RNA sequence: CGGGGAGUAGCUCAGCCCGGCUAGAGCGCUUGGUUUGGGACCAAGAAGUCGCAGGUUCGAAUCCUGUCUCCCCGACCA
């Protein structure tokens, strides 16, 4: 492609709307332009990369027997009401104003709709259905460019099986396909166990890329590969040990002592002698959650334990529920349900709030003083704690979710009546799995992992072009003739070539644009080297340059590729 | 939703606090010329209802009120 005739608008300065490197570079290199918050137009160069990614996805999905569909984005609302997901998605679901339609944020319902009545026998199963399609989610806060948008391209796949064993097979196939896709795209990623959240279902795993721009927090063990979303992550943090003798309960006046740190400093005690209290509202009923020291409550774990809706109590509700404000709340005399983290199990001689402002209580014995207390794993794992599997240090960091695979089970098939007859003539619900990849996130994550201060550094097979051919001073007839011939010859050899044939523009402009756009190989043709019948090859990643004879150029390139 | 920042030329921004001549700069763009191995130079030029609406004032980019949009942080850590 000739740069002089292409729409590849590059920017010298960083755009004000972008913060993370991939976002900045995608705008500067002319891959995307923003239309509105979380809504982007793909420009030709960006879309060329996106198509390469989609081709890889298609190949790998077809490899595991996937069949490509294209479902509508515009869906009748009533089908979403049948599965209860109009309410479950809430404000995230886009509603059409002048007809009872919604814009689909995912497609379980539509897959189930089409399966119903057509998948009627165990002989029709299994099926793997997938599509690459635009999804709509009314994100309250889009961010980081295309990483979280209100409109985005997703590869979503669905397996239909007659039983759990079949689902296991489909799940494993997707696990394999996803690894192949991300490997081929050249990404460094890892796989974590995850909470299935609002999707329902049992097992689920996320494919993640480490990044400051990530929205998930992950615990990862370098030495054994243990990786889990902090929503479900565990460590081998040790429970407190019960002391031989329990003291009697006693009150302590603790003016202006609000936090556990304050309390420890004030009483000169260890964090592991304290129990922090937090009050949650579980379906209108208050629950006191006791944590060891400064451990934080993992609300996902808490929700899984309690069921129903769980939210932290508002500050103005605290006094009515407990008799005290934040900082002085505790288990003694608390009139509602109390649950505690496992690390506190059967602890004694503990300090906690007195449910009276500016007072704490010491000598608490959870066995003696708090009847009916329940213990669960409720804490958030912290960096530096020991891995639950191998005992090495865990690293906790942010990550971007590239893909997610779920074992759904029969939630949607039962809700929508997707039934088949098994070998014995018995009617059963189809067992479903659901699998998604954020297509644009692959591109953004690739750039996050492959750039320098000059720009993007592509590599095969995502690179939009193999070679960036630069003609310096195209007014010089020898340069012009040589580059024109090279442009044709290289394409005949099967290379995709971006040809900077612009007549205007100094050498510096062309070099900088080439570095910004980031094709793996640059071929630089200038008068100086041409006098000796030579041209220069530059490796974008290493920066290494080599001057070769014109006749040997193709051979040199063959060695590189 | 809560908090913070921003909206002035295609882009990046100054001017606003403390109202006052024709609203500026750099980059980009157009024309002509000189240049051509790391974002060149000279000359001439086009380009902005200062986000929108209302108000205060003799006078508003600047002050006040409302509103829209965009970016960032957070999602109630006792």
Which one, of A174, A172, A178, A135, lies nearest residue A38 by Cα? A135
pLDDT the model gives residue A199: 47
- Beta carbons within 8 Å of A84's beta carbon, 6+ residues apart: A415
Same-domain check for residues A471 and A443? no
Q: How far is the CA of A29 from the C1' of B50 (A)?
A: 30
Asked if pLDDT for residue A102 goes beyond 60, the answer is yes
Mean pLDDT of A327-333: 90
- Lowest-pLDDT range of A58-67, A229-238, A338-347: A229-238
Mean pLDDT of A297-315: 82
Same-domain check for residues A221 and A115? yes
Cα–Cα distances in Å, from A16 out to A11, A27, A38?
12, 10, 15
pLDDT the model gives residue A202: 66
State which residues form the domain around A496: 467-560
Q: Which nucleotide is nearest to A11 (CA to C1')?
A: B11
Distance CA A163, CA A123 (A): 13
pLDDT in tens, A164-206: 999 999 999 999 999 999 999 999 999 987 654 444 456 788 9
Same-domain check for residues A228 and A258? no
Same-domain check for residues A406 and A498? no
**Paired tokens of A398:** 């942010």
Asked if pLDDT for residue A290 goes beyond 70, the answer is yes
Q: Which nucleotide is nearest to A140 (CA to C1')?
A: B1
Same-domain check for residues A277 and A345? yes
Domain count, chain A: 3
Q: How far is the CA of A141 from the C1' of B3 (A)?
A: 14
Q: How far is the CA of A468 from the C1' of B45 (A)?
A: 35
pLDDT in tens, A463-475: 999 999 999 999 9
pLDDT the model gives residue A447: 97
Q: How far is the CA of A143 from the C1' of B74 (A)?
A: 14
Q: How far is the CA of A287 from the C1' of B13 (A)?
A: 53
Peptide bond into A461 cis (omega under 30): yes
Same-domain check for residues A287 and A188? no
Same-domain check for residues A439 and A545? no
Q: Which nucleotide is nearest to A36 (CA to C1')?
A: B70
Q: Which nucleotide is nearest to A295 (CA to C1')?
A: B77
**Residue listed under structure tokens 């960006």:** A46
Give the residue nearest to nucleotide B26 (CA to C1'): A13
Mean pLDDT of A527-556: 95
Residue A550 covered by a domain: yes
Q: For residues A474 and A502, is the Cβ–Cβ distance under 8 A?
A: yes
Same-domain check for residues A111 and A193? yes
Residue A5 covered by a domain: no
Same-domain check for residues A440 and A505? no
Residue A539 covered by a domain: yes
Give the residue nearest to nucleotide B41 (CA to C1'): A506
The CATH number given to whatever domain includes residue A503 is: 3.40.50.800
Q: How big is the CA angle at A269 (ends A267 and A271), to the nearest 5 degrees?
A: 120
- Residue A432: pLDDT band with limits 50, 70, 90: very high
Residue A168 covered by a domain: yes
- Residue A428: pLDDT band with limits 50, 70, 90: very high
pLDDT in tens, A216-257: 888 898 888 888 888 888 888 899 999 999 999 999 999 888
pLDDT the model gives residue A301: 85
pLDDT the model gives residue A197: 47
pLDDT the model gives residue A195: 55
Q: How big is the CA angle at A456 (ends A181 and A180), to the nearest 5 degrees?
A: 5
Q: Which nucleotide is nearest to A23 (CA to C1')?
A: B71
- Spell out the alpha helix ranges (H) of A429-497: 439-449, 477-492
E strands, A293-444, in order: 310-312, 337-341, 350-353, 359-364, 374-376, 395-409, 419-421, 427-429, 431-438
Residue A389 covered by a domain: no
pLDDT in tens, A128-151: 999 999 999 999 999 999 999 999
Q: How far is the CA of A556 from the C1' of B60 (A)?
A: 67
Residue A84 covered by a domain: yes
Residue A455 covered by a domain: no
Q: How far is the CA of A16 from the C1' of B23 (A)?
A: 22
Same-domain check for residues A346 and A268? yes
Q: Which residues pair with A456 in a beta bridge?
A: A451
Asked if pLDDT for residue A45 goes beyond 60, the answer is yes
ipTM: 0.94
Same-domain check for residues A302 and A413? no
Q: For residues A193 and A227, is the Cβ–Cβ distance under 8 A?
A: yes
Q: How far is the CA of A137 from the C1' of B66 (A)?
A: 30
- Lowest-pLDDT range of A193-202, A319-328, A478-487: A193-202
Give the residue nearest to nucleotide B12 (CA to C1'): A13
Number of Cβ within 10 Å of residue A300's Cβ equals: 18
The CATH number given to whatever domain includes residue A362 is: 3.90.960.10
Mean pLDDT of A260-288: 89
Distance CA A233, CA A221 (A): 11
Same-domain check for residues A334 and A260? yes
SS3 A187: coil
**Residue listed under structure tokens 């198509």:** A51
pLDDT in tens, A359-394: 999 999 999 999 889 999 999 898 889 998 899 999
Q: How far is the CA of A548 from the C1' of B52 (A)?
A: 61
Bases along strand B below 7 A from a protein CB: 1-2, 6, 11-13, 26-29, 35-40, 69-78
Pick the last residue of a domain from A376, A410, A438: A376
Which one, of A172, A190, A229, A221, lies nearest residue A405 by Cα? A172
- Residue A437: pLDDT band with limits 50, 70, 90: very high
Pick the last residue of a domain from A343, A376, A409: A376
Residue A391 covered by a domain: no
The CATH number given to whatever domain includes residue A136 is: 3.30.930.10
Pick the last residue of a domain from A322, A342, A376: A376
Q: Which nucleotide is nearest to A526 (CA to C1')?
A: B37
Give the residue nearest to nucleotide B72 (CA to C1'): A19
């Amino acid at each position: 492609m000739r740069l002089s005739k292409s729409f590849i608008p590059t920017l010298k300065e960083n755009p004000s709307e972008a913060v993370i490197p991939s976002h900045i570079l995608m705008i500067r290199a002319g891959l995307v332009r923003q239309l509105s918050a979380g809504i982007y137009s793909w420009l030709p160069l960006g879309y060329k990369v996106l198509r390469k990614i989609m081709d890889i996805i298609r190949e790998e999905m077809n490899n595991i027997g996937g069949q490509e569909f294209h479902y509508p984005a515009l869906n009748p609302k009533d089908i979403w009401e049948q599965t209860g997901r109009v309410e479950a998605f809430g404000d995230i679901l886009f509603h059409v104003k002048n007809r009872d339609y919604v814009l689909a944020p995912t497609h379980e319902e539509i897959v189930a709709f089409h399966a119903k009545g057509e998948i009627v026998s165990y002989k029709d199963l299994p099926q793997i259905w997938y599509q690459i399609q635009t999804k709509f989610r009314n994100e309250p806060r889009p961010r980081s460019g295309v990483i979280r948008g209100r409109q985005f391209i997703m590869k979503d796949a669905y397996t239909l099986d007659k039983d759990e064993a079949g689902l296991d097979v489909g799940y494993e196939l997707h696990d394999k396909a996803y690894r192949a896709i991300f490997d081929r795209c050249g990404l460094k990623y890892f796989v974590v166990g995850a909470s299935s959240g609002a999707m329902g279902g049992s097992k689920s795993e996320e494919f993640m890329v480490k990044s400051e721009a990530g929205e998930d927090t992950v615990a990862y063990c370098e030495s054994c590969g243990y990786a889990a979303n902090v929503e479900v992550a565990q460590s081998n943090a040790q429970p407190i040990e019960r002391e031989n003798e329990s003291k009697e309960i006693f009150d302590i006046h603790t003016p202006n002592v609000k936090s556990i740190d304050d309390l420890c400093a004030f009483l000169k005690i260890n964090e592991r002698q304290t129990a922090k209290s937090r009050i949650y509202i579980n379906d209108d009923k208050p629950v006191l959650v006791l944590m060891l020291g400064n451990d934080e409550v993992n609300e996902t774990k808490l929700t899984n334990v309690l069921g129903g809706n769980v939210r932290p109590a508002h500050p103005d509700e605290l006094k009515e529920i407990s008799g005290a404000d934040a900082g002085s709340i505790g288990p003694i005399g608390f009139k509602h349900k109390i649950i505690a983290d496992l690390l506190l199990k059967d602890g004694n001689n503990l300090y906690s709030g007195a449910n009276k402002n500016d007072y704490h209580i010491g000598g608490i014995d959870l066995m003696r003083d708090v009847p009916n207390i329940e213990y669960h794993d409720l804490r958030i794992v912290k960096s530096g704690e020991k891995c639950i599997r191998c005992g090495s240090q865990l690293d906790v960091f942010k990550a971007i979710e590239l893909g997610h695979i779920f074992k759904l089970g029969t939630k949607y098939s039962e809700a929508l009546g997707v039934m088949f007859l098994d070998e014995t003539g018995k009617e059963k619900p189809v067992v479903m799995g659901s699998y998604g990849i954020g297509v644009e996130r692959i591109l953004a994550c690739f750039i996050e992992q492959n750039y320098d201060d000059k720009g993007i550094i592509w590599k095969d097979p995502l690179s939009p072009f193999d070679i960036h051919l630069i003609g310096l001073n195209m007014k010089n007839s020898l340069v012009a003739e040589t580059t024109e011939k090279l442009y044709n010859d290289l394409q005949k050899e099967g290379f995709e070539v971006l040809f900077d044939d612009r007549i205007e523009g100094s050498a510096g402009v062309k070099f900088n644009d080439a570095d910004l756009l980031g094709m793996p190989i640059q071929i630089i043709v200038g008068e100086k080297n041409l006098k000796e019948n030579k041209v220069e090859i530059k490796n974008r990643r290493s920066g290494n340059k080599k001057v070769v004879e014109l006749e040997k150029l193709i051979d040199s390139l063959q060695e590189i590729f």
